[in-house]
């Protein structure tokens, strides 16, 4: 993977991946640490959807909410992260739980990075049978 970050001016920085993906950091954008947190949510969301689809579960939608606590001293790394999955559809609870466990224990590289730095990663989930 390759990418670059360029200072745009003031407190703005533009990031670009070799495939053309873009992120704006700083003012009017997202902080790098929030981007890290959202990357974990995105990583595990992709895993859970793919796993439930392979299990042929009737997944209608998925939302992943994520929150984190950081150290007060520098470097201000995350010490705790909590991930909450909102699974929409008539999904089997045991299969949903298994999909989340596989993501967290085996597949989600972004989450693994946090855990390797000592971050306590916890999760919860709910299955919402009918989308409002």
Adjacent-strand bridge partners of 59: 89
Residue among 46, 52, 50, 128 nearest 90 (CA)? 128
User: Cβ atoms within 10 A of the Cβ of 41, count?
Assistant: 21
pLDDT tens-digit series, residues 68-119: 999 999 999 999 999 999 999 999 999 999 999 999 999 999 999 999 999 9
pLDDT higher than 90, residue 131: no
DSSP tag of 118: T
- Residue 89 structure tokens: 């559809």
pLDDT score, position 27: 87
Per-domain boundaries in the chain = 1-30, 32-128
What is the homologous superfamily of the domain 32-128 according to CATH?
K homology (KH) domain (3.30.300.20)
Give the pTM: 0.92
Q: How far apart are CA 34 and CA 11, in angstroms?
A: 16
**Angle at 93 (CA atoms; ends 89, 98), nearest 5 degrees:** 115
What's the helix, strand, coil split of the chain in %, to 5? 35, 40, 25
pLDDT tens-digit series, residues 39-66: 999 999 999 999 999 999 999 999 999 9
At 10 the three-state DSSP class reads: coil
């Amino acid at each position: 993977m390759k990418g670059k970050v360029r200072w745009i001016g003031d407190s703005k920085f533009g990031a670009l991946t070799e495939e053309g993906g873009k992120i704006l950091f700083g003012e009017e954008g997202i902080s790098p640490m929030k981007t890290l947190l959202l990357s974990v949510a995105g990583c595990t969301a992709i895993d859970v959807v793919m796993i439930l689809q392979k299990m042929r579960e009737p997944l209608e939608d998925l939302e992943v909410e994520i929150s984190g606590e950081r150290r007060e001293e520098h470097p201000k790394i995350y010490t705790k992260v909590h991930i909450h999955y909102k699974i929409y559809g008539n999904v089997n609870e045991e299969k949903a739980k298994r999909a989340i466990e596989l993501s967290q224990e085996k597949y989600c590289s972004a989450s693994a990075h946090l855990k390797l730095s000592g971050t306590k990663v916890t999760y919860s989930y709910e299955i919402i049978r009918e989308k409002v």
